[in-house]
Chain A
Amino acid sequence: MTQTSSETSGEPGNADSLEIQRSPEFAALRRSLRVFVFPATVVFLLWYALYVVLSAYARDFMGVKVFGEINVALIFGLLQFVSTFLIAWLYSRYAAKNLDPKAEAIKEHMENGSPKSAAGNGSEDEA
């Protein structure tokens, strides 16, 4: 019954949140987040799935020796480590550059109510 009465929770109320959610700045932040994390998730899950499926169904291929006793299975496994480190590093760079400034500007705007940063920030990422 009460969960629709939004203004009771203090903090930024629902009305504010709705307004922010519809703002172009927030849309840009959401787009920046999703444009990285969704494709990256698809890529690493498929890459991992490929590794697991090959381990199950392509044993001959996985057993091919590349140099010394080092075979494809081992290299493929080590590449999963490399790709994990790489995606983590790319994301941290991307987030620091493309997410943090946008998020902080919106947060600042909400907490101080200063409309100062609201105008300039949204448009730069429209392209």
Chain B
Amino acid sequence: MNILADTTASTSRTWTIALFLVFVAATLVITVWAGRRTRGASDFYAGGRSFSGFQNGMAIGGDYMSAASFLGIAGIIALNGYDGFLYSIGFLVAWLVALLLVAELLRNSGKYTMADVLAFRMRQRPVRTAAAVSTVTVSVFYLLAQMVGAGALVALLLNIKEGQEFLGMDADTAKIMTVVLVGILMITYVVVGGMKGTTYVQIVKAVLLIIGAGVMTVLVFAAFKYNFSDLLSDAAGDSTKGESFLEPGLKYGVEVAGDSWQTTVNKLDLLSLGLALVLGTAGLPHILIRFYTVPNAKSARKSVLWAIGIIGAFYLMTLALGFGAAALVSRDEIFNADKGAGNVAAPLLARELGEKFFGGDFGGAILLAVIAAVAFATILAVVAGLTLASSSSLAHDLYANVFKKGKTSEREEVVVARWSALGIGLFSIVLAIFAQRLNVAFLVGLAFAVAASGNLPAILYSLFWRRFNTSGAVWAIYGGLGSAVLLVVFSPVTSGTTNSLFPGAAFDWFPLTNPGLVSIPLGFLFGWLGTIISKDKADPGKYAELEVRSLTGAGAH
């Protein structure tokens, strides 16, 4: 039995590495090819604005469907049932905010970064500085989540256990090496390939992810003779939780018997998470800059429509993957792999399905390897997008417009952007090595909450509120960003419980783990307050220019 398990593990390990290397080689070729076609700033920041709506829709999918969605949501469903579905729904519905209120207007009025729109009718330096701070903060939180996830995954997927060694490395060394490797690759994609290279990497990844998840979904259904109800009843039966496994409430908004205060807090926390998910997407800088890669607002709209289709289909499949894992894989095996985080539910399900449908252990090893390689591809594509968003903002907003006051050449800007990508990449590698203990889902949830509190109010006010002025924009960004971050610092996430970052300390006076319910309204409130108490007058001419450009595309870049 042990020998058998070991050979299976080593077969799939070899195949995982081989497939991953194929992906890396292919994407590097694409990156170099794209790099040769990257000349000016518009190529580097916006891929020459030459992608079609369909291509960009795929790339948005590749940028958005992170390892947290693929492995995280499947894992939450596998262990806690229905509650994982809440994430899928929030992540999808959020796209309507982007489609109806942001994508086209932003495409028409901006050039390379989120700040282009925020600073359009304001004093450049304060607003661009604030926007750059917020862009880098959101992106680095999100980057950390992906890189910490990559490190944790490699030990699991390559099946390196405590005390075992792989190429002479123990599990901890392998984690650090993975973080470094992922970091080097993402820096290469961005520095060499710019937005063009990054976009193609994301398209390839989206195709792989959809095919991988699609094959698994079909196999799960086949295993239950295409009867979804049977799948659910099997999942509920194996879960040890019975019927409640198919209902909300096992993980979020948990009712604690005899503790009505904690029950209230848990339920408010669920509402807070729901709000952050639905309002966060349209404030994520790495998503927003994707709208600049298409020629006009109409193609920006098409990209979002394609993205909604692809992302929606994918999140529907996570339902089958999660419940499939619950029904087909032993709960203990999923739970014990990473102390209940559930990140290996999808890979373990792949192994199970491979064994069932493709001839025993070997088939299992191969399908596991394929899905593991897809998971790594997923992480790489997302981190590249995040690195690009941060470095664009540092170069275009901070360097060119704040330090140089707009007096710089395009060439110089791109050089600075490349160096910034290197800097952000190295910074994230170091941070991720020290952040290995942080929970991945928490970091992603935090990034969404910060984006929804710090960026979305400023974007919406800029586009729709005539009176909004420089002071309002600065207040909205720093106010929303600051309250989101501060509330997390004083939440149980940071201190007060055994799962906290600092379990020994207790300064957790804010009871919710997700700050959105308070910090998002605060972001809007600060933006309004900053606007009305300032003596700044909004410039009606500038607003006219922004409004006309955003609605018609006249004068758009």
Query: Contact residues of A with B, CB < 8 Å?
Result: 3-4, 6, 9, 11-15, 17-18, 20-21, 26, 29-30, 33, 36-37, 40-41, 44-45, 48-49, 51-53, 55-57, 59, 62-63, 67-71, 73-74, 77, 80-81, 84-85, 87-89, 91-92, 95, 100, 103-104, 106-107, 110-111
Provide the bound-state CA to CA distance between A44 and B282, in Å. Answer: 15
On whether the beta carbons of B247 and A73 are closer than 8 Å, the reply is yes
CA distance A119 to B263 in the complex (A): 62
Tell me the residues in window 275-319 of chain B with beta carbons closer than 8 Å to chain A beta carbons. 275, 278, 297-298, 301-302, 304-305, 308-309, 312, 315-316
10 closest A-B pairs by beta carbon, nearest first, are A68-B229, A14-B541, A69-B232, A52-B274, A11-B555, A17-B544, A55-B248, A21-B544, A17-B545, A37-B100
- Asked if B97 CB lies within 8 Å of chain A CBs, one says yes
State which of A44, A48, A84 has its C-beta within 8 Å of the C-beta of B312.
A84
Asked whether, in the complex, the Cβ of A41 is within 8 Å of the Cβ of B101, the reply is yes
Query: Which chain A residues border B541 with CB–CB below 8 Å?
Result: 4, 6, 14-15, 17-18
Contact assessment for B544 and A18 in the assembled complex, using a CB-CB cutoff below 8 Å: yes
Q: Is the pair B101, A73 in contact by a Cβ cutoff of 8 Å?
A: no
* Most chain B beta-carbon contacts within 10 A, residue among A15, A36, A67, A87: A87
Q: Let me know if B243 and A4 touch, CB within 8 A.
A: no
Known: A55-B253, A69-B232, A71-B247. A18 touches B93 (CB 8 A): no
**What's the dominant secondary structure at chain B's contact region?**
helix
B246 and A33 contact, CB distance less than 8 A: no
In the assembled complex, which residues on chain A have CB atoms less than 8 Å from the CB atom of B228? Answer: 68, 70
Total number of residue pairs linking A and B with CB closer than 8 Å: 170
Q: Are B544 and A14 in contact (CB under 8 A)?
A: yes
Cβ contact of B89, chosen from A29, A53, A63, A81, cutoff 8 A: A81
**B34 within 8 A of partner (CB):** no
Contact B544 A29 (CB under 8 A): no
The closest CB in chain A to the CB of B315 belongs to: A81
- For B316, the chain A residues whose CB sits under 8 A away are 81
Sample of 30 A–B contacts (CB below 8 Å): A3-B123, A6-B542, A11-B555, A12-B548, A12-B549, A14-B541, A17-B544, A26-B551, A29-B551, A30-B547, A36-B100, A45-B278, A48-B89, A48-B274, A49-B274, A52-B271, A55-B248, A55-B249, A56-B253, A59-B247, A68-B228, A69-B236, A73-B247, A84-B308, A87-B96, A88-B305, A91-B99, A106-B554, A110-B552, A110-B555
In the complex, which of the residues A26, A69, A111 has the most CB atoms of chain B within 10 Å of its own CB atom? Answer: A69
Residue B137 at the chain A interface, CB threshold 8 Å:
no
B267 at the binding interface (Cβ < 8 Å): yes
Residue of B95, B96, B252 contacting most chain A CB atoms (<10 Å): B96
Q: Tell me if B353 is interfacial: C-beta within 8 Å of chain A.
A: no
Tell me whether A62 and B298 are in contact in the complex, defined as CB-CB below 8 angstroms, given that A12-B545, A70-B228 are known contacts.
no
How many angstroms from the CA of A92 to the CA of B541 in the assembled complex?
31
**B213 an interface residue at 8 Å Cβ cutoff?**
no
Q: State the CA gap A95–B305 with chains docked (Å).
A: 12
User: Does the CB pair B93–A80 fall under 8 Å?
Assistant: yes
Q: Does B338 contact A (CB under 8 A)?
A: no
A49 surroundings in chain B (CB, below 8 A)? 274
Besides A48-B274, A77-B86, 5 more A-B contacts (Cβ < 8 Å) are A26-B548, A51-B89, A84-B312, A89-B305, A110-B554
As a 0/1 sequence over residues 41 to 79 of chain B, the CB contacts with chain A under 8 angstroms (1 = contact) are: 000000000000000000000000000000000000000
Mask, B525-555, CB within 8 Å of A = 1, is 0000000000000011110110111011111
Which of A6, A55, A71, A87 makes the CB contact (< 8 A) with B86? A55
Q: List B contacts of A13 (CB < 8 A).
A: 545
Give the distance in Å from the alpha carbon of A85 to the alpha carbon of B489 in the complex.
37
Whether the Cβ atoms of A21 and B308 lie closer than 8 Å is: no
Interface residue from A12, A41, A56, A104 paired with B100 (Cβ < 8 Å)? A41
Report Cα–Cα, A49/B96, bound state, in Å: 14
Q: Could you tell me if A62 and B236 are in contact, using CB atoms closer than 8 angstroms?
A: no
Contacts of B275 in A (CB 8 A): 52
Q: How far is the CB of B543 from chain A (nearest CB, A)?
A: 8
| Closest residue on chain A to residue B247 by CB atoms | A63
Rounded to whole Å, the gap between the CB of B336 and the closest CB of chain A is: 27
Q: Cβ of A77 and Cβ of B89 under 8 Å apart?
A: yes
Q: Any chain A CB within 8 A of the CB of B82?
A: yes
